[in-house]
Amino acid sequence: MKKALAASLLLASTLALAQTPYKDDTTYRGLGGKDGIERIIDTFFPIVLADPRIKDTFADFDIKQVKVRLVEQLCEFAGGPCKYTGKYRDRTMDGVGTVRDMQTVHQDLQITDAQFNALAEDLQLAMERNDVPNHIANKLLAKLAPMRRDIVTK
C-alpha cells in the first residue's frame, strides 16, 4: 500500500517536471536499453490483464500493437534512440480509421484517476520484477506523469 501511495504521490507531484524529448539516456540505460524495456512490457501486460481494477479497459485492444507502441514510447521517454509515433488508429488499432493523439485515444474510455494509478502501480511492479532500481523506476514514472491529463477523462 505504501508503494501505491508513493507512486500516486510521485505521479501527482511531478507533472510540471516532465518534458520531452529527453536527451539524458540514464533512465534508458537503467531500464536495460530497448531489450530491457521489452522485457518490462512483456512482464507488465500479464499483470495488467490480471488486474481486476483495469483489465476490462484493455478487452477490445490489440495487445500486440499496444505493446509495440508502449515499448516505443517508454524508450523515447527514457532517453533512448526510439521515436514514439503515437499514431493510433481506431479502438482496435487494426490500421483502419483516423489517426488519433493520446487524448483522443483515451477520451471514450472514461479512465479514472484510480485506473491511471493502478496502471502505474502495475508498471512499477513489472519494473521491480525486472530488477530495475527504484531511482530509475521513479525517474520513468516522473517522465510519464504528465500524460495523466490526456488519459484521465472521468
In the structure grid, which three cell numbers stand for residue 1, read together? 500500500
Cell numbers found for residue 94? 487494426
Q: What are phi and psi of 80, to 5 degrees?
A: -85, 180
Residue 100 confidence (pLDDT): 56
Domains of the chain from N-terminus onward: 2-12+21-151 (1.10.490.10)
Instruction: Measure Cα distances from 16 to 9, 35, 73, 135, 149 in Å.
Output: 13, 29, 19, 19, 11
3-state helix, strand, coil in the chain (%, to 5): 60, 5, 35
pLDDT for res 96: 52
Q: What pLDDT is stored for residue 126 in this prediction?
A: 97
Q: In the structure grid, which three cell numbers stand for residue 72, read together?
A: 516505443
The parts of the chain modelled with pLDDT lower than 70 are 1-23, 86-110, 150, 153-154
